[in-house]
Chain A
Amino acid sequence: MARTATAPGAPTTKLGTTAAELDDRLVISGWLRRTMNKVYPDHWSFLLGEIALYSFIVLLLSGTYLTLFFDASMREVAYAGSYAPLRGVEMSAAYDSALRLSFDVRGGLFMRQLHHWAALLFVSSIVVHLLRIFFTGAFRRPRETNWTIGVVMLVLALLMGVTGYSLPDDLLSGTGLRIISAILLSIPVVGTWVHFAIFNGPYVGESIIGRFYIAHVLLIPAILLALIALHLIILVKQKHTQFPGPGRTEHNVVGNRLFPTFAAKATGLVFLVFGVSAALGGLVQINPIWLWGPYNPAQVSSASQPDWYIGFLDGSTRLFPAWDMNLPGNYTIPALFWPTVVIAGAMFTVLALYPVIERKLTGDTASHHLLQRPRDVPVRTALGAMALTFYTVLWISGGNDVIALKFDISLNAMTWVGRIGMIVLPPIAYVIAYRICLGLQQHDREVLEHGIETGVIRRLPNGEFIEVHQPLGPVDEHGHGELAYGGAPVPKKMNQIGGARRAIRGFFSPTENPAQVELEQRAEDRGLAAAEGDRELTSSGRPSEGGRPSDGGRPQEPRD
């Protein structure tokens, strides 16, 4: 190392020397610099997927802890732990170990609840992330692959959930297991074979908890991890999308470099996700299996529901009419097959293929890196609203007995509301969403053409009253704005274009001295005093006119 020690620019500190030694061996600094220089768009909605990623990390950590105590066996044992109301009761070893984990392991209950809350957060954030991708058109070419991978991961996340909450073998999850068994049996032709392959015989057998366990802790997480890696590699490779705005084009990414800004925020988010899961895990009781009791196929409780992400399937099953199909030769397609296998299969297939469907419908095969505002794509937005409404009706119907009880409504009426609602409401949602999109579009165009409503009323010499509009840019001889709509938010209030006092900065409380800001603004000839003059704003803040490319997707004041 004599050479590097004397070379110009050689490290002088111990840390520096170590780093140089490392780089000598691994030749890593080029890659490290490229990584640190990678630019990430600075918009809150790009963090939704990261919430899912970080809750998955929390799940891996807490789940590993749980495996140290859990016994995935259906062997019958008599409980002898510390929870008195179950002492002496016959139960499976799985339930017994889950109880011991909750009551006889210090902090075990906390870890169990942390794991379960993180799981709910995991699926919820995936869904919110998916909605953001959908409504902004981020799935369009070249990102169809990543969309499909995402949908597959969502399905795997649901499977993770089902196999996970079935493990304690309590009365609630056992009821769910029974329904899973019935769903498998309902598949035409091969149903019974599939059931016997999975359950190792008729329901309930002695294998299913052990098999779910290995699927839950190894098989599905391994696939998920691989897919997450693929999802992220493709993301890095393709670089991020971004909302249209000043300086943003199809050929660049505007935002923060990974290091340090984005890395610090992302690390902060890891802690926030972990913290929120932990706080919920401590403060809000989830799945109190000791109250449910051990599973027995003859027992059941009213209001038996799956976790929220399976609720839509429970709902569709509740709503679907009793339509067994009797085929010639004494074969039957059970009614249960349609709302579970077919509807769920269709929903996820359409979801996974949506980029292809949209490409076929619109004929738009170009690559897109700039996102769309939902209002600018009214058909897609309306389709999304329609699908979401359908899903929501199913979801609410999954809890219709609880709603019926708590709000004193007839259960049969709730079923009929759901049956009618799942057919009638989605088209209504489509029309409403479509009209709202058009209305918002129109308002954007109106502001671009006529300017912002200032609230100043003038009386013309002929006695007519008019409201003064502030044009956003140069106007033609009729006084109409000449700016074209650029897909970015259009300022609609005077203070968004600096026509009023600048807002005092600070999220929770002001971080600036208002008087100071006032002075600053006077010096800059801005604010009310300036706006009162007959100054005309001439710039839209578009990139060509020198706007600032840093507004994080939210409306900002253009320079004038």
Chain B
Amino acid sequence: MNTHDTRPGSTGGADTPGPLHGGPDEDYTPEQLAAMSLDELDRLGARYDGVEIMHVEPGPEPGSPLEKRAVRQIGTVFTLAGLCAFASVVIYAGSGWFLPTWQWSVSESGWSAIFTPLVGALFGAAMILVGVGLVLYTKKLLPHETAVQDKHDASAFDRATAGATLVRTAHNSGLARRKLITRSLAFMGGGLGLMLIMPLGGLIKNPNTGDPLGTTPWKQGVRLTRLDGSPIRPGDQEPGSLETVFPAVPGGNRAANAATMLIRLRPEQVAANRPRPGQGNLGYGDYVAYSKICTHAGCPVSLYEQETSRILCPCHQSQFDVTQGAKPVFGPASRPLPQLPITVDASGYFVARSDYLEAVGPTYWNRRRI
């Protein structure tokens, strides 16, 4: 004992055994435990946890040919795993150093094209081999024991005692009697709850302000342009052709609802053309322009079959007939593709006569109201 030990609270400490806390420590003294073999201790602990070891099939005899073979096999597997891992590292680090570069370019089909497969295959092989080695070890070298563990039902004692503690506290709190507190608590809870989710209000935007779903950048006099912004003359397309056109406004060729199909019909199609009622004069000569955005789920339609006049949507296979006002003739779409009224301006280029007459794109709840 030195001087430090005389300070209050520093003598002995918890190293001096306190009263035993019951359970196995009372049944087995350290001396008894020390006298037991490892196996006995293991089984003792297991039994204490409700586990009975029923049956042990020992591993192979030490030194037996069976063991030697298994050891050799498992050793080989782990060695191979190491080899694969190192090889993977060498390829990863060595490419571009003493191996050809790993950076792939389009014309390459040599080393850089197999860099990823090589790294991945070796990486994967190393991992798989480690797993295989571990399982082999368990299966071939460890003893196989069969254990049975008891399953306990819920304890009535625990339930009664824990329940009593809860109920007793509830009684003591008197909340059942003190109505003012419970009511104010409910009021407070409601307020607090609302306050906590209140910031989510920042996400809310009114979809009806300015009708963004019902309007597109198209309006009167806006030119029809190609992807690169060049305008289009009536003579530019052959009969039986389709061109995707965009409004000549900034960002028009990226606008989500503006893409339009400008279709020049073949003479037979012109003869067979039956536009939607009231929309007979939206085209220009043998040209018609329909929205490219499917009325079903919004994919760009445009798988145009110029002989059968059908436009197919690749997402859900709705089919529209351009000679019938782009009416859906098959599949899940229920509305025709909206038609863009077009004409030719003074310089001889295609322009829109107005925005679409109805909302383009997928149907929604109040589409017909705005």
Which A residues fall within an 8 A CB radius of B? Answer: 1-4, 7-9, 33-34, 37-39, 76, 82-85, 103-104, 106-107, 109-110, 113-114, 175, 178-179, 181-183, 185-193, 195-198, 200-204, 239, 247, 250-257, 260-261, 264-265, 267-272, 274-283, 296-304, 314, 317-324, 326, 329-336, 339, 367, 369, 400-401, 411-412, 415, 511, 548-550
Q: Are A33 and B49 in contact (CB under 8 A)?
A: yes
Q: Given A7-B30, A175-B299, A334-B362, are A83 and B106 neighbors across the interface (CB < 8 Å)?
A: yes
1/0 per residue, CB under 8 A from A, across B163-206: the answer is: 00000000000000000000000000000000000000001111
Chain B residue nearest to A4 (CB atoms) is B15
B-side contacts of A85, CB under 8 Å = 106
Interface residues on B, range: 35 or more
The contact of A549 among B54, B314, B361, by CB within 8 Å, is B54
Q: Are B124 and A182 in contact (CB under 8 A)?
A: no
The contact of B365 among A182, A183, A275, A331, by CB within 8 Å, is A331
B-side contacts of A276, CB under 8 Å = 124, 128
Distance to closest chain A CB from B246 (angstroms): 7
Question: How far, in angstroms, from A257 to B146 measured CA to CA in the complex?
Answer: 8
Q: Tell me the B133-166 residues at the A interface (CB within 8 Å).
A: 133-135, 137-138, 140, 142, 144-151, 153
Q: Are B331 and A279 in contact (CB under 8 A)?
A: no
Residue B253 is within 8 A (CB to CB) of chain A in the complex: yes
Q: Are A332 and B367 in contact (CB under 8 A)?
A: yes
Q: Are B134 and A271 in contact (CB under 8 A)?
A: yes
Q: Tell me the B1-59 residues at the A interface (CB within 8 Å).
A: 15-16, 30-31, 33-34, 45-46, 48-49, 51, 54-55
Q: Are A272 and B128 in contact (CB under 8 A)?
A: yes
Q: Are B116 and A113 in contact (CB under 8 A)?
A: yes
Residue B127 is within 8 A (CB to CB) of chain A in the complex: yes
Question: How far, in angstroms, from A187 to B205 measured CA to CA in the complex?
Answer: 16
Q: Given A1-B15, A255-B147, A276-B128, are A330 and B366 neighbors across the interface (CB < 8 Å)?
A: yes
A-side contacts of B55, CB under 8 Å = 548-550
Question: How far, in angstroms, from A254 to B316 measured CA to CA in the complex?
Answer: 51
9 inter-chain pairs at a CB distance below 8 angstroms, sorted by A residue, are A39-B147, A196-B205, A197-B205, A250-B151, A257-B46, A264-B142, A334-B334, A401-B314, A511-B66
Distance to closest chain A CB from B141 (angstroms): 10
Which B residues fall within an 8 A CB radius of A? Answer: 15-16, 30-31, 33-34, 45-46, 48-49, 51, 54-55, 66, 69, 92, 95, 102-106, 116-135, 137-138, 140, 142, 144-151, 153, 203-208, 212-213, 227, 244, 246, 253-257, 259, 292-293, 296-300, 302-303, 312, 314-319, 328, 330-335, 361-369
Distance to closest chain B CB from A75 (angstroms): 13
Q: Given A265-B134, A275-B128, A279-B121, are A257 and B51 neighbors across the interface (CB < 8 Å)?
A: yes
Question: How far, in angstroms, from A197 to B202 measured CA to CA in the complex?
Answer: 9
Distance to closest chain B CB from A64 (angstroms): 17
B-side contacts of A3, CB under 8 Å = 15-16
Q: Are B150 and A251 in contact (CB under 8 A)?
A: yes
A33, A250, A336, A339: most-surrounded residue (chain B CB, <10 A): A336
Question: How far, in angstroms, from A192 to B145 measured CA to CA in the complex?
Answer: 62
Q: Are B256 and A297 in contact (CB under 8 A)?
A: yes
Q: Are A268 and B363 in contact (CB under 8 A)?
A: no
Question: How far, in angstroms, from A2 to B46 measured CA to CA in the complex?
Answer: 30
Q: Are A254 and B244 in contact (CB under 8 A)?
A: no
In the A-B complex, the 4 residue pairs with the smallest Cβ-Cβ separation, listed nearest first, are: A282-B120, A279-B124, A275-B127, A271-B131
Question: How far, in angstroms, from A9 to B105 measured CA to CA in the complex?
Answer: 67
Question: How far, in angstroms, from A260 to B128 measured CA to CA in the complex?
Answer: 20
Q: Given A271-B127, A275-B125, A550-B54, are A320 and B116 neighbors across the interface (CB < 8 Å)?
A: no
Question: How far, in angstroms, from A277 to B118 measured CA to CA in the complex?
Answer: 14
Q: Are A38 and B334 in contact (CB under 8 A)?
A: no
Question: How far, in angstroms, from A304 to B315 measured CA to CA in the complex?
Answer: 6
